[in-house]
Amino acid sequence: MTPKAKRRAFFFALTQQFRVIWPVVSGVLAVMVAFGLVIGRIEDWRISEALYFTFVTGLTIGYGDLTPKNLSSRVLAVLIGFAGIVLTGLVAAVSVQALRATEIDPTETEPTSRDDR
């Protein structure tokens, strides 16, 4: 398979996988944004600051320029962090599945079993 064909197969498999897990990914993102907006409301931040905090925390970057002071905000921030870890895991899993799909030779008629390895 040529490199161009592999790239095409990878991106095709990637979009197919994202179509399958999109409801889960969008749900995790919605929960993260909702928690972030609640934190912004508790901490009296602007919406842009709350969303910025949400994604910096969810992507586990954590610059520290915005920090929640209230205990309930801190608990929600931890939940945003865990949701971000789940989101990162989902993206990694989908990428690995897409890479595996590019390994499969389209001329094979039967997949190999685990016993043949």
Spans of all domains in the chain: 19-103
Position 21 scores a pLDDT of 93
First-residue to last-residue Cα distance in the chain: 22
Query: What CATH number should be reported for the domain whose range is 19-103?
Result: 1.10.287.70
- Judge contact between 84 and 90, C-beta under 8 A: no
pLDDT of residue 56: 96
Q: What is the pLDDT along the chain (117 residues), one digit of tens a residue?
A: 788 988 898 999 999 999 999 999 999 999 999 999 999 999 999 999 999 999 999 998 999 999 999 999 999 999 999 999 999 999 999 999 999 988 875 555 455 556 655
Q: How far is CA 90 from CA 17, 22, 28, in A?
A: 10, 10, 10
Residue 103 has what pLDDT? 82
pLDDT at 31: 96
**CA atoms within 13 A of residue 114's CA, in its CB half-sphere:** 0
pTM of the model: 0.78
